[in-house]
Amino acid sequence: MAATYKEPNYMAVFGALSVLTVLEIGVIYLPIGKLIIGVALILLALTKAALVALYFMHLRYEKVALGVIALTPLLICTLLIVSLLPDLTGTPHESKKDKAAAAQSIQPAANASEPAESAANSK
């Protein structure tokens, strides 16, 4: 026998998801550190994912075991994202090719000034 349950108010869930989306956009423009912005975005995204899973995937009315099965990949994904967050706050990577190109662009300018100085010193 199938269990009956009250149909959720999908428009209320849609409204909550819309508000969370606006909050996500607003968080980006706050004058705080990148790490805090990243954590805030993850928390907002997890809240949105939970709303979608609970109401649109109907996990709110399922057995607990099915919910655990659905939440395990989400937990693993969240841990992966949190572990990669420090990479956002680090300095950009420079390759050896970029450093060599920068060194060559500076070197001719230094060589060009040497003859003018040596000519001025010889007079």
Res. 1: pLDDT tops 60: no
4 vs 31, residue with greater confidence: 31
Q: Give the pLDDT confidence of 35-45 residue by residue, as tens digits.
A: 899 889 989 99
Q: Does residue 29 contact residue 74 with C-beta atoms inside 8 Å?
A: no
Nearest to 59 by CA among 1, 5, 17: 5
Q: Give the pLDDT confidence of 42-84 residue by residue, as tens digits.
A: 899 989 988 988 888 777 777 778 778 877 887 898 888 888 8
User: What rounded mean pLDDT belongs to the chain?
Assistant: 79
| Sequence-ordered alpha helix ranges (H) in the chain | 10-28, 34-51, 64-84, 86-89, 96-122
pTM: 0.55
CA 24 to chain centre: 11
